[in-house]
Amino acid sequence: LRTRLRQLTQVMSFTASSIASVLSDRVPDGQLGPDTRRHLKSSLGYEITFSLLNPDPKSHAVHWDIENAVNRYVQPVLDKLSLVANFSVDSQILYYAVLGVTPRFDKESSSFLMSAHSLPHVINPVEARLGSSAASLYPVLNFLLYVPERSHSPLYIQDKDGAPVNTNAFHSPRWGGIMVYNVEAPASPQASLPLHVDVDMVRVMEVFLAQLRLLFGLSREELPPEFLLESPGNEGLADWELDRLLWAHTMENIATVSTTLTSLAQLLDKIGNIVIKDDVASEVYQAVASAQTAVAELAMGHLHSAFQ
């Protein structure tokens, strides 16, 4: 039993790689794996924007019940994450917004393909239309549902090896995710346009919630065979995953505090005659005391109070 418990605690505890990813901005580039800089930086709040992109409204009249889908699938996850940060959610529909890459036609499958290496070029032109990050105080997470125009349908994303991506979606670290939603061609060529399209929100939200987990560094852990983890249910993340997130954000904040205070101390050493006002001095004392308390609370395993 002891060996099995050790295997399980390995999965749920903080490994060298999880520490490296938390402190990724302070570790030289060459020493980190490709996945360590994927997750979002710790912030007091995040803004989440769901955008439906309909580049061809003459052919497709697309309807998505985004409000109901957010309340049903996204809100339970955000309620659980409310210990970590504040969240605001909004949505928009953008017409005539196209991706920045022209897909190539594949004769064999009679479909259009977008390869993995072209995906970074997809985001820039679309981002100019999103308009959400300009006025935001907090990091913005973008989730885009793209219904391809009729002349580029059906459209599929390929991975690096040229295989189709099951979800027909991809995510961009610290930015968000895009899902391509193909519309079935009408049975008869004489069908009147625009076609009415009802988006299957369950399928879409499964993808967006998986991407949201990735952005927060909550990827699924590799479990030893024969181990079963209870499903996190409607909340989308288990208690121990929330603990890991609190721990990671606390570590990141402590590291940021120590870096900032060290730079300040070095600056003051260089300028001997600088005047420091009482309010600035008390901020510094408070920051040092808070960091020391956080470290002590963390050592005792009191994650919530350490994070606070």
Map out the domains of the chain as residue ranges.
1-37+234-307, 45-216
199 — alpha (psi -120 to 50), left (phi > 0) or beta? beta
pLDDT of residue 197 exceeding 80, the answer is yes
Residue among 247, 177, 165, 240 at smallest CA distance from 214: 177
Q: How far apart are CA 262 and CA 266, in angstroms?
A: 6
Do the Cβ atoms of 123 and 175 come closer than 8 Å?
yes
Do the Cβ atoms of 179 and 212 come closer than 8 Å?
no
Looking at 32-46, 69-83, 139-153, which range is the least confident one? 32-46
Specify the pLDDT at position 91. Answer: 92
Residue 91, φ and ψ in degrees, nearest 5: -140, 160
Q: What is the largest CA-CA distance in the chain?
A: 83
pLDDT of residue 133 exceeding 80, the answer is no
Note the pLDDT tens digit of each residue in 45-103. 999 999 999 988 898 888 999 999 999 999 999 999 999 999 999 999 999 888 878 88
What is this structure's pTM? 0.85
Q: Which residue has the higher pLDDT, 30 or 143?
A: 143
**Any idea what the Cα angle at residue 166 is, between residues 163 and 170, rounded to 5°?**
90
The percentage of the chain sitting over the pLDDT mark of 70, rounded to a whole number, equals 93
Residue 46 DSSP label: E
pLDDT of residue 173 exceeding 60, the answer is yes
Amino acid at 102: T
Contacts of 174 (CB under 8 A, 6+ apart): 37, 38, 39, 40, 41, 139, 215
Note the pLDDT tens digit of each residue in 226-263. 877 777 777 888 888 888 889 989 999 999 999 999 99
Note the pLDDT tens digit of each residue in 208-218. 999 998 888 88
Q: How far apart are CA 161 and CA 49, in angstroms?
A: 31
> Quick one: pLDDT band at residue 187, thresholds 50, 70, 90?
low
Specify the pLDDT at position 33. Answer: 58
Determine the 3-state secondary structure of 273 from DSSP: coil
> Quick one: pLDDT band at residue 276, thresholds 50, 70, 90?
confident
